[in-house]
């Protein structure tokens, strides 16, 4: 547990200089917000580890068994990756960064906390994971509706995708890994295409068609794939997750998740 905590702290410390390389008030504000949330989450993880060691005498992260420490650890890791309802820092932080650092924050920085969630998931309360998943998918869909800033749209998209990953983690962990891989691939494509077209607002995307038609077409296809439009790659994990949820006798949950996918797709289609 101590090594896991130390790894997460090193990961946080490593990205802060990248965030503050632009000496700009927004970047410094983003770095401060990020640092405070990550430090809070790390303190919660350490507290959960100590609680587990106190109650069960076990320090190993895969052997964590006490409901209190499992719940605390999951909530702390949810705060680390930006799952709803602990998502408030993510859009603000991402908006204050440049596209390259935003790409690292949206992809690479999610891996370490997710590896820990993956290990703890079998011992976690199923209802907690489903609640986090549904809330994240709903907020990821609703939050992006009135946004004009591309980075904020990508932040809400990240929240929604993480919700899809968390909801299936208890039932079929391999599907979560597939979703994570495709999410990283599609998000990287989006950030890099925005970087190439130097676009940070929705209206600046409208002018890219006249400059570079192939890049504009690729951006549009990537956005629709990220939203989960049927013939494209992004639809596959959503389809498989809905299928698995129905098999697990959770039709209402599957219906809610399908509706939230429509919310996300609506603002991508704009």
pLDDT digits (tens, 9 = 90+) for 95-142: 999 999 999 999 999 999 999 999 999 889 999 999 999 999 999 999
Domain assignment of residue 218, given as a range: 125-269
Query: pLDDT class for 64, splitting at 50, 70, 90?
Result: confident
206 has a pLDDT exceeding 90: no
Integer Cα distance of 173 and 168 in angstroms: 7
237 in a structural domain: yes
149 has a pLDDT exceeding 80: yes
- pLDDT tens track for 158-180: 999 999 999 999 999 999 999 99
Q: What pLDDT shows up at residue 39?
A: 95
| Average pLDDT, rounded, for the chain | 92
Same domain, 257 and 181: yes
Same domain, 154 and 222: yes
Same domain, 204 and 261: yes
255 in a structural domain: yes
43 has a pLDDT exceeding 80: yes
270 has a pLDDT exceeding 80: no
Q: What pLDDT shows up at residue 212?
A: 86
Q: What pLDDT shows up at residue 144?
A: 87
- Is 0.85 topped by the overall pTM? yes
Same domain, 71 and 132: no
Same domain, 10 and 62: yes
Q: What's the chain look like in SS3? A: CHHHHHHHHHHHHHHHHHHCCCCCHHHHHHHHHHHHHHHHHHHHHHHHHHHHHHHHCCCCHHHCCCHHHHHHHHHHHHHHHCCCCCCCHHHHHHHCCCHHHHHHHHCHHHHHHHHHHHHHHHHCCHHHHHHHHHHHHHHHHHHCCCCCEHHHHHHHHHHHHHHHHHHHHCCCHHHHHHHHHHHHHHHHHHHHHHHHHCCCEHHHHHCHHHHCHHHHHHHHHHHHHHHCCCCCCCHHHHHHHHHHHHHCCCHHHHHHHHHHHHHHHHHHHC
Q: What pLDDT shows up at residue 240?
A: 96
Give 210 or 248, the one with higher predicted confidence.
Answer: 248
Residues with Cβ within 8 Å of 131's Cβ and at least 6 positions away in sequence, in order, are none
57 in a structural domain: yes
Query: pLDDT class for 200, splitting at 50, 70, 90?
Result: confident
Do the Cβ atoms of 120 and 70 come closer than 8 Å?
yes
Same domain, 129 and 78: no
Q: What pLDDT shows up at residue 117?
A: 93
48, 74, 98, 245 from 64: Cα distances, Å: 10, 11, 38, 26
Q: Give the residues across from 201 on adjacent strands.
A: 149
Integer Cα distance of 134 and 130 in angstroms: 6
Give 59 or 169, the one with higher predicted confidence.
Answer: 169
Query: pLDDT class for 84, splitting at 50, 70, 90?
Result: confident
Q: What pLDDT shows up at residue 129?
A: 95
Q: Give the residues across from 102 on adjacent strands.
A: none
59 has a pLDDT exceeding 90: no
Q: What pLDDT shows up at residue 2?
A: 83
**The total number of structural domains that make up the chain:** 2
Question: Which of 78, 97, 116 is the C-terminal boundary of a domain?
Answer: 97
Same domain, 205 and 265: yes
Give 187 or 198, the one with higher predicted confidence.
Answer: 187
110 in a structural domain: no
Same domain, 245 and 188: yes
- pLDDT tens track for 6-37: 999 999 999 999 999 988 899 999 999 999 99
Task: Say which DSSP state 137 is in.
Answer: H
Integer Cα distance of 19 and 17 in angstroms: 5
């Amino acid at each position: 547990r101590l090594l896991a905590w130390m790894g997460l702290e090193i990961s946080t410390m490593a990205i802060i200089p990248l965030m503050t390389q632009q000496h700009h008030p927004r970047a410094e504000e983003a770095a401060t917000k990020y640092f405070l949330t990550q430090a809070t989450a790390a303190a919660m993880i350490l507290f959960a580890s100590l609680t587990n060691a106190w109650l069960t005498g076990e320090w190993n992260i895969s052997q964590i068994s006490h409901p209190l420490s499992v719940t605390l650890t999951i909530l702390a890791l949810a705060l680390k990756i930006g799952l709803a309802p602990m998502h408030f820092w993510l859009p603000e932080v991402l908006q204050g960064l440049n596209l390259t650092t935003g790409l690292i924050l949206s992809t690479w920085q999610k891996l370490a906390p997710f590896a820990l969630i993956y290990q703890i998931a079998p011992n976690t309360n199923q209802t907690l994971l489903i609640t986090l998943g549904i809330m994240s998918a709903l907020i990821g869909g609703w939050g992006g509706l009135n946004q004009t800033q591309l980075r904020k749209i990508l932040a809400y998209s990240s929240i929604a995708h993480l919700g899809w990953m968390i909801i299936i983690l208890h039932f079929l962990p391999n599907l979560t890994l597939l979703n994570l891989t495709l999410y990283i691939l599609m998000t990287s494509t989006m950030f890099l295409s925005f970087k190439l077209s130097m676009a940070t607002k929705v209206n600046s995307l409208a002018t890219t068609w006249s400059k570079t038609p192939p890049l504009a077409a690729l951006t549009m296809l990537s956005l629709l794939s990220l939203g989960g439009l049927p013939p494209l790659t992004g639809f596959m994990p959503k389809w498989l997750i809905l299928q698995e949820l129905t098999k697990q006798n959770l039709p209402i949950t599957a219906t809610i998740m399908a509706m939230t996918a429509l919310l996300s797709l609506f603002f991508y289609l704009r």
